[in-house]
Structure 1
Amino acid sequence: MRAARRHLLASADLRPMKADAVDEAVFGHALPKRDLDPRIARVLRAMADDPGSTQSAGEQAEMVNLSVSRFLHLFKEETGVPLRALRAWKRARHLLNFANESLNMAHLALDIGYPDSTHFSHSIRRFYGLKPRAIFSGSRELAIYRGGSASALEPA
């Protein structure tokens, strides 16, 4: 890991990296691709396209023609994490796209899929250990790089 970090820092290339490039830098080779069930892959693409979506598990299951219980079981089997946990992580991660902007916190909470600002604040504190305002106040000068694809790693 230290050697990979030194290599990445020495390259001074701040462009988003493809997952294979990160694997190569860290492990010395690209990791084998996992074949996800196409139904779960479809749901994951939809989540990546709209991280603030409030679509329920039932609606997602219906989108891929599965019962809710089968969908939730298959989702966890394929991804290794429950749907609720992944959605919460993606929502909290989506916040970082706005970390250096001046926004109304209550509006931002609703825009990125939280039901209210209290839930937003508690969830962000659980993931990052900081209140949303602390993240925003300490991030005014950060440069945020947004990749063009879901496979790009985006520094935030």
Structure 2
Amino acid sequence: MRDPLSDILLAMRVSGATPVRFESRGGYAMRFPAFRHLKFGALLSGSMELRPSNGPALHLQAGDCYLLTDGAPYASRTGDHPEIDGEAYFATHRDPDGVVRFGEGAPDKIVIGGRFTFEETGAEWMRLALPPAIRIPAGSPVAAPLRTTLSLLGQEVGANAAGEDLIVARLADILLVQALRAYLAMTGDETPSWLAGLADPRLGRALRAFHAEIAGDWSVGRLAAEAGMSRSSFADIFRRRTGLTPMDYVARWRLFRIRAEVMQTDRPIAVIAEDNGWRSRTSCSRAFRELFGVSPREAKAGAAVFLAAERHQA
């Protein structure tokens, strides 16, 4: 049994890059190029500014976290200084302990950041659901779990202790989920997205029930009953919050689950489809192509290309 957010992230095949610790003293300005697919970071001490290409600047204080979701170039700065190439600097100034340092003396700013990679279709869906840049203030009540994870990350990254890579990778996964939780808790009703339904208490009940039994016989009426709402009211609110009809959501996430399993296992497509609530292989394959633009067999072949590219970038 999976909760909706876990189910969604697993279906999108999230992989995490090892976070980097950046310690600096004094002012700087760095420009970073486009990236794949989602960057996260947290300011452990000091203050700084992030300037995404799309959207307003993020003014960060100690304890703040951020997500950059559109893959566009961005700048990091602590004042009005000439910009340098941040990617080149990080590539050439990493010390033996894995920490990147700027300036002389004890640091007055410490940042931990990293990158998560999604399967390409999953990355596009995340971009549709999230704004280009998100700041989660340290003082927000929903940031309390993040502070615990950040404290642990701050102790592990750059410590060169046994098992550091594994612990840091797991903590980074936790940080991403906690950041998305916090974002969902902070958002209002003004921006419909498939992710927004998770933040609505009534819709969330229905979505948890669906994700826990994805192969079940789901209908708008059954989802509405799980939410404790009338069929018409549920359908209307669901569409306004998510931008999808309830059954569009059901069909799409079944197909995402099918796609993930097709790409990761050798199980027959008919078995995978039935396990995810699709009774007809033919109709499943037709819907699969309509949503993803390729057949299940072509998706499986493309997975090998994706994994090879990830190994090359690692």
TM-score of the pair, normalised by structure 1: 0.68
Percent identity, please: 24
CA distance in structure 1 between the aligned counterparts of 2:279 and 2:303, rounded to whole angstroms: 24
Residue deviations 1:2-43, cap 9 Å, x none? Answer: 846278496665588xx8xxx69x426356423644211211
Matched, 1:111 2:111: no
- Structure with the bigger percentage of helix: 1
The unaligned stretches of length 5 or more in structure 1 are 144-156
Name the structure, 1 or 2, with higher relative contact order (CA <8 Å, separation 6+).
1
TM-score of the pair, normalised by structure 2: 0.37
How far apart are 1:127 and its partner, in Å? Answer: 0.8
In the alignment, what sits opposite 2:51? none
Secondary structure of residue in 2 paired with 1:106: helix
CA distance in structure 1 between the aligned counterparts of 2:209 and 2:34, rounded to whole angstroms: 32
Matched, 1:29 2:29: no
CA distance in structure 2 between the aligned counterparts of 1:81 and 1:95, rounded to whole angstroms: 19
The unaligned stretches of length 5 or more in structure 2 are 1-31, 40-70, 72-86, 88-112, 119-125, 137-182, 190-198, 308-314
Contact 2:273 2:279 in 1 (8 A): yes
Picking from 35, 45, 68, the partner of 1:5 is 35
Distance 1:141 1:101, change over 3 A: farther
Residue deviations 1:61-116, cap 9 Å, x none? Answer: 12222222222112112222211221122111112331121011111111111121
Distance 1:3 1:140, change over 3 A: closer
Picking from 289, 292, 308, the partner of 1:128 is 292
RMSD: 3.4
Residue deviations 1:107-145, cap 9 Å, x none? Answer: 1111111121011101100011111111123325766xx
How many pairs does the alignment contain?
137
Larger Cα Rg: Structure 1 or Structure 2? 2
- Structure with the bigger percentage of strand: 2
- The residue identity in structure 1 corresponding to 2:135 is H
Contact 2:209 2:226 in 1 (8 A): no
CA distance in structure 2 between the aligned counterparts of 1:28 and 1:4, rounded to whole angstroms: 17
Distance 1:29 1:80, change over 3 A: same
